[in-house]
A and B are shown apart, each in its own frame.
Chain A
């Protein structure tokens, strides 16, 4: 493979304020890495999976560039392996014990409900701690109470208020994630409002109602297909609108972000991915991941207000990978 010989240092350009986010990986290259990882994982009876995870993630992180500098994925395979074995062990224990005594399942379910906010905090802390940019790590730190409110309390209030407070529930969730995340010692700040999310949800509801009226007018055979498409379109709209909103209202000190994903662009990417994954029996998965990342990163810009050089590193900290791995096994990951 030919090396890119141009200098990586793009020079200090204080006047340029809009920095694009670039993803330089390609689907086939990632596929080669991914498939070799899978075979090594099979041959080692799963032990290699932790190294595979690191290698896959490193590929994705290291190919994502902002301002000519790539991100780094810093986690150690052994940390992940230990946590993963523990998580799977606990999962098997729970399944077996639950089969023997249903009372145990109930007890465990309750313990899990109490534990989830803690594990989600831990999982986000692990992810951020292992993301680096210009040799400065990200951080995430939130209290149990904050996580509990964002995960349970606000969504519950949203439901109890018949959806009126739902925009607030989403807002609190995003604030929990963004405001507790830091690049080095500098916290991100999310400036979205209740109104922002209320508009998104109202438009989504409007689209849903419009589709329902059309379906009712057309009648059953064709209507079923239209309602399925409308359902997917509404989901795509909500995903696109909320992630655009996330970047548009996000701030890191005096620097801002922007995102201009479109429902059409996103749906097209998603549909192509789904069709190709089904047709290739799953072999297209890695390339699909790349296609989606390419689309999303191509829509994001960083509005740098002056230099990005003066972020300071946070103190060293160690976070176990358990929350992250446990979350994946138990399927409460975020």
Chain B
């Protein structure tokens, strides 16, 4: 005998009820109103939709006419269903879910899968997609700087002569990469920063130009930004981020219920991609510095100069001035850019490999 309550589906009233098996084959059950001892339902077990066991949540028996019997007595229900040899309402899931070894195995498998997908699968897929996309028309980005100028940037405050000097300095290197269609813009309002946008717009801030001690350091930053363009980082990051969201949707099921919390894994993946792209751009910069016979140390000196700046001011997250907060060990994990020491070490490694 299984006890619970019955709701007929017409009103929200519920009555205490008990379910009894009348005959074994065919399996016929009767549902009794416990208080009045009247018959509520009589049905073949096969015609009842019984919910599968799920943790310790109450089981639901949906009768053909929409009446619902609910009981929390999972153990008894399973026993009764087994003796009736019915697989109605008995699912494999609960057995899997309550097997600790299997759960632990699932954890390992899920972590391994997530790791491989996020670090290998998605970046490769995005790479392939980016390579197979037609060259995006240049004029599509014509309006880009106008929009950015009216929102993010302020005009440069550097004297015209200084701006012209930087342009002259960069011109030969920009010409080397004319297939990327790079255009230099000097602006302020973004702190010590340099940014590259799809379509070829490269923005240097006044503050960054002033911070550099020599020209080679400035050129190293330019090459880094050209690296972002060369490897289509903007497009690939967008593609990768949307793939992470789709993956999360499929794997976790719903991302809406706790948007703020569910966003964290996606954010961590995005930050990890960002750091990979920075490394790729760094490598590009070093190769270019080398092939142009420029001093590779200028690049690492620039990194150190910029990280010294980071300590001092801490307002906006940007290309070089990453949003690093003091979380100790978590610092690297939560940052858009690799640590400056790591980037300087990369230079040494690169030099050793020459």
Q: Could you list which residues of chain A lie within 8 angstroms of chain B, going by C-beta atoms?
A: 1-5, 7-9, 24-25, 29-39, 41-42, 46, 49, 52-53, 55-60, 62-63, 69-70, 72, 84, 88, 91, 95, 99-100, 102, 133-136, 183-184, 220-221, 224-225, 270, 273-274, 277-278, 281-283, 285, 288-289, 292, 308-313, 328-329, 331, 333-334
Contact (Cβ within 8 A) B253 A52? yes
Contact (Cβ within 8 A) A329 B246? yes
Q: Which residue from B74, B98, B260 sits with its C-beta under 8 Å from A3? A: B74
Q: Give the CA-CA distance A64 to B314 in the complex, in Å.
A: 45
Contact (Cβ within 8 A) B11 A39? no
* CB<8 Å pairs between A and B, sample of 26: A3-B73, A4-B56, A8-B5, A9-B15, A9-B16, A25-B55, A29-B55, A38-B252, A42-B109, A46-B250, A49-B249, A57-B253, A59-B55, A63-B55, A69-B70, A84-B250, A91-B242, A100-B134, A134-B7, A135-B8, A278-B268, A285-B261, A285-B265, A309-B11, A310-B11, A313-B9
Q: Give the CA-CA distance A1 to B7 in the complex, in Å.
A: 26
A-B contact sample (17 more), CB < 8 A, given A35-B103, A221-B314: A29-B56, A31-B103, A33-B54, A36-B93, A53-B253, A55-B93, A59-B54, A63-B57, A69-B70, A134-B14, A183-B12, A184-B11, A220-B313, A270-B260, A281-B265, A292-B261, A308-B12
B10 within 8 Å of A (CB atoms): yes
B60 within 8 Å of A (CB atoms): yes
Q: Which residue from B9, B246, B258 sits with its C-beta under 8 Å from A136? A: B9
B255 within 8 Å of A (CB atoms): yes
The residue on A at minimum CB distance from B14 is A134
B190 to chain A, nearest CB (A): 17
Q: Which residue from A69, A224, A333 sits with its C-beta under 8 Å from B314? A: A224
Q: Give the CA-CA distance A276 to B252 in the complex, in Å.
A: 17
Binds A, one of B19-27, B110-118, B166-174: B110-118
Q: Which residue from B58, B67, B314 sits with its C-beta under 8 Å from A70? A: B58
A217 to chain B, nearest CB (A): 17
**Residues on the B chain within 8 Å of A133, using CB:** 12
**Residues on the A chain within 8 Å of B152, using CB:** none
Contact (Cβ within 8 A) A289 B261? yes
**Residues on the B chain within 8 Å of A32, using CB:** 97-98, 103
Q: Give the CA-CA distance A249 to B133 in the complex, in Å.
A: 53
**Residues on the A chain within 8 Å of B140, using CB:** 102
**Residues on the A chain within 8 Å of B268, using CB:** 278, 282
The residue on A at minimum CB distance from B53 is A1
B192 within 8 Å of A (CB atoms): no
Tell me the total A-B contact number using a CB cutoff of 8 A.
202
**Residues of chain B in range 238-269 having any CB-CB distance to chain A below 8 Å:** 239, 242, 245-246, 249-258, 260-262, 264-265, 268
Q: B9, B57, B257: which has the most chain A beta carbons within 10 Å? A: B57
**Residues on the B chain within 8 Å of A2, using CB:** 75
**Residues on the A chain within 8 Å of B102, using CB:** 36
The residue on A at minimum CB distance from B6 is A135
Contact (Cβ within 8 A) B109 A39? yes
Q: Give the CA-CA distance A42 to B140 in the complex, in Å.
A: 39
B354 within 8 Å of A (CB atoms): no
B352 within 8 Å of A (CB atoms): no
B315 within 8 Å of A (CB atoms): yes
Main secondary structure of the interface of B (DSSP, over half): mixed
B157 within 8 Å of A (CB atoms): no
Among all A-B residue pairs, the 5 with the closest Cβ atoms: A62-B57, A135-B7, A309-B13, A53-B253, A311-B12
**Residues on the B chain within 8 Å of A59, using CB:** 54-55, 57
**Residues on the B chain within 8 Å of A309, using CB:** 11-14
With known contacts A102-B136, A220-B313, A8–B58 Cβ distance under 8 A: yes
Q: Give the CA-CA distance A100 to B73 in the complex, in Å.
A: 58
B107 within 8 Å of A (CB atoms): yes
The residue on A at minimum CB distance from B141 is A102
Q: B15, B56, B103, B330: which has the most chain A beta carbons within 10 Å? A: B56
A18 to chain B, nearest CB (A): 19
**Residues on the B chain within 8 Å of A333, using CB:** 256
Q: Give the CA-CA distance A310 to B7 in the complex, in Å.
A: 12
Contact (Cβ within 8 A) B262 A285? yes
With known contacts A36-B103, A38-B251, A70-B57, A274–B109 Cβ distance under 8 A: no
Q: Give the CA-CA distance A285 to B257 in the complex, in Å.
A: 11
Contact (Cβ within 8 A) B5 A328? no
B318 to chain A, nearest CB (A): 14
A96 to chain B, nearest CB (A): 8
Contact (Cβ within 8 A) B315 A36? no
**Residues on the A chain within 8 Å of B15, using CB:** 9
Contact (Cβ within 8 A) A310 B13? yes
B76 to chain A, nearest CB (A): 7
Q: Give the CA-CA distance A334 to B313 in the complex, in Å.
A: 37
Q: Which residue from A49, A270, A334 sits with its C-beta under 8 Å from B251? A: A49
**Residues on the A chain within 8 Å of B89, using CB:** none
Contact (Cβ within 8 A) B264 A274? yes
Q: Give the CA-CA distance A288 to B333 in the complex, in Å.
A: 21
